[in-house]
Amino acid sequence: MALIVQKYGGTSVADPDRIRAVAENVALTKRRGNDVVVVVSAMGKATDHLIALANSVSKNQSGREMDMLLTTGERQTAALLSMALADRGIDAVSYTGSQVGIITDTAHRKAKIIEVRGDRVRAAIAEGKVAVIAGFQGVSTDKEITTMGRGASDLTASALAQALGADACEIYTDVTGVFTADPRIVPQARKLAKVHFDEMLEMAGAGSKVLAMRSVEFARNHDVPLHVRSAFTWEQGTLVSNEEPSVEDPIISGVVTDMTEAKITVLGVPDQPGVSAALFEPLAEANVNVDMIVQNTSTEGTTDISFTMPMADLAEAKSIVQKVAEQIGATKVTHDDDIAKVSLVGAGMKSSPGVAAKMFRVLADEGVNIQMISTSTIRVSIIIPSADMERAAIALHTAFGLDSGADYSAPLPERK
Ligand code: ASP
Ligand code: MG
């Protein structure tokens, strides 16, 4: 008998119909003779609504109270799904993260898992029951309720799969798998049968929303293969694992597009030791997630520094940078939120030189001007004007041989 962990994301359980559809799939999996452990997210945009609710009653919410509030979203889904399973003759029991012994550190809203005990899940399985667990949450070493960051139900699933020694960890979502590009932008995108964890991590870092970064990190480090698939079509999805790509695999696995970043440029920065530290330390302290950084070679003792960060952090970053710029004697601070990041990701890059050169040639032929470049061993990212993003992504997808040969025709999920 196989033990299968199934995780259902917010859109998969967004309304009563969806919860019933999910219950059908869980019941089917169980009737086929498997043991099933289910992890659920909050229904639809429930977490966003709870955050908005908190913002409307208070200006500075404590992490503890926010976690008390936010964990109710997942708890609701777990109870409802258990009821729907009972209707189908399946003995199901819901649990909070705390009840199943997901022990975390004390960092509210971004807690890290220290240990997964899972005793009650094992007992439920032994009794032939389906355990339905509220995702994204745990209990701290101080006995407080914690959450582990947005999208962390995936993490609950991989952590439980690892602790229970599950045979499979299925992540059900609103897309049919991991694609070579976002089909809403590149119609010729195709579903990948498999992706290496390292590629998935780079894709998440480059802006892919399919799996949350920390969940991929955990799954990679503990070697828990994830099967990303759709709760709408139920078809075979994408296997994310540590399996090394074979020589026949394409050099590039995907073109990732991201419009959620903005750029700040500090002009006329004195070229002296300590200025970068002076600039980026306060940003780090304010938890601004700086992504790409470019510093020009200095001419006449000054230089320009540009960097990107999430659009949501732009206002805060600007005010910090403005202050520092005055202190260090820089001439001017400008910003640009009409930018897009386009990244090529592929494990094959390690053994195949010339990817960046080819990328730049394709963009040159398209007349796209590159503003910033950054690379890792298996990724090349560029910043370009957002108006050019779609054209650039489509051209790169074609040039690197990723086109499926037919336009994507399935219904497109809502943008997250
Ligand atoms: N409901 C939480 C969120 O929206 C956790 C999750 O869905 O994984 O971030
Ligand atoms: Mg999610």
CATH of the domain at 28: 3.40.1160.10
Mutate to test the pocket of ligand 1, among 70, 74, 173 (most ligand atoms within 8 A of CB): 74
pLDDT value at residue 415: 52
Q: Is 160 in the pocket of ligand 1 (CB under 6 A)?
A: no
Judge whether 66 lies within some domain.
yes
Judge whether 14 lies within some domain.
yes
The boundaries of the domain holding residue 112 are 3-174
Looking from the CA of residue 151, the nearest atom of ligand 1 is 8
Judge whether 50 lies within some domain.
yes
Judge whether 120 lies within some domain.
yes
Judge whether 72 lies within some domain.
yes
Q: Where do runs of H (alpha helix) occur along 147-188?
A: 153-164
Judge whether 406 lies within some domain.
no
pLDDT value at residue 65: 98
Report the SS3 class of residue 399: helix
Based on the structure, what is the number of domains in the chain? 1
- Residue 25 structure tokens: 């799939």
Looking from the CA of residue 42, the nearest atom of ligand 1 is 1
Q: Is 358 in the pocket of ligand 1 (CB under 6 A)?
A: no
pLDDT tens-digit profile, the chain (416 residues): 899 999 999 999 999 999 999 999 999 999 999 999 999 999 999 999 999 999 999 988 999 999 999 999 999 999 999 999 999 999 999 999 999 999 999 999 999 999 999 999 999 999 999 999 999 999 999 999 999 999 999 999 999 999 999 999 999 999 999 999 999 999 999 999 999 999 999 999 898 888 988 899 999 999 999 999 999 999 999 999 999 877 778 899 999 999 999 999 999 999 999 999 999 999 999 989 999 999 988 888 999 999 999 999 999 999 999 999 999 999 999 999 999 999 999 998 988 889 999 999 999 999 999 999 999 999 999 999 999 999 999 999 999 999 998 887 766 666 54
Which whole-number Å values give the CA distances from 146 to 143, 157, 208, in the listed order? 9, 16, 26
Q: Is 136 in the pocket of ligand 1 (CB under 6 A)?
A: yes
Judge whether 139 lies within some domain.
yes
Which whole-number Å values give the CA distances from 79 to 26, 28, 96, 127, 138, in the listed order? 14, 19, 10, 19, 17
**CA distance linking residue 209 with residue 311, whole number of Å:** 16
**CA distance linking residue 143 with residue 105, whole number of Å:** 10
Looking from the CA of residue 156, the nearest atom of ligand 1 is 8
- Residue 278 structure tokens: 């002076």
Residue 212 Cα to ligand 1 middle (Å): 10
Q: Is 47 in the pocket of ligand 1 (CB under 6 A)?
A: yes
Judge whether 221 lies within some domain.
no
**CA distance linking residue 8 with residue 174, whole number of Å:** 9
pLDDT value at residue 247: 75
- Residue 81 structure tokens: 């799904």
